[in-house]
Amino acid sequence: MSSYNIITLNEFISTRQANFPYAKGELTRLLHYIGLASKIVNKKVNKAGLVDILGEAGNTNVQGEDQKKLDVFADEEFIKALKASGECCGIATEEQDEIITFDEEMARDGNYVVCIDPLDGSSNIDVNVSIGTIFSIYRRKSKRGERAQLYDFLQKGTEQVAAGYVIYGSSTMLVYTTGHGVNGFTLDATIGEFCLSHPNIKTPKAGKIYSINEGNYAHFPDNVKKYIKYCQEIDKPTSRPYSSRYIGSLVADFHRNLLKGGIYIYPQTAKDRNGKLRLLYECNPIAYIAEQAGGKATDGNTRIMEVEPESIHQRIPFYTGSEDMVNKAESLN
Which residues are near ligand AHG by CB under 6 A? Answer: 94, 117, 120-122, 213, 248-250, 276
Neighbouring CB atoms inside 10 A of 151's CB total 11
The CB-of-131 to ligand AHG minimum distance in angstroms stands at 8
Neighbouring CB atoms inside 10 A of 124's CB total 18
The CB-of-38 to ligand AHG minimum distance in angstroms stands at 15
The CB-of-229 to ligand AHG minimum distance in angstroms stands at 20
* Rounded Cα distance, 299 and 197, in Å: 31
Number of residues that bind Mn ion (CB under 5 A): 4
- For residue 174, the number of C-alpha atoms closer than 13 Å in the C-beta half-sphere is 29
For Mn ion, the nearest residue by Cβ is 120
Q: Is 14 helix (H, G, I), strand (E, B) or coil?
A: helix
The CB-of-158 to ligand AHG minimum distance in angstroms stands at 23
* Rounded Cα distance, 172 and 46, in Å: 10
How far the first Cα of the chain sits from its last, in Å, is: 53
Q: Toward Mn ion, which CB reaches closer, 27 or 280? A: 280
Which of the choices ligand AHG, Mn ion, none does residue 248 contact, using the CB cut-off of 5 to 8 A by kind?
ligand AHG
The one-letter code for the residue type at 5 is N
Q: Is 270 helix (H, G, I), strand (E, B) or coil?
A: coil
Q: Toward Mn ion, which CB reaches closer, 122 or 149? A: 122
The CB-of-124 to ligand AHG minimum distance in angstroms stands at 8
Q: Which of 77, 94, 253, 323 binds Mn ion (CB under 5 A)?
A: 94
Taking each continuous run of H as one helix and of E as one strand, the counts in the chain are 9, 13
* Choices 56-64, 111-119, 226-234, 308-316 (CB under 5 A): range interacting with Mn ion: 111-119
Residues at the interface with Mn ion (CB under 5 A) = 94, 117, 119-120
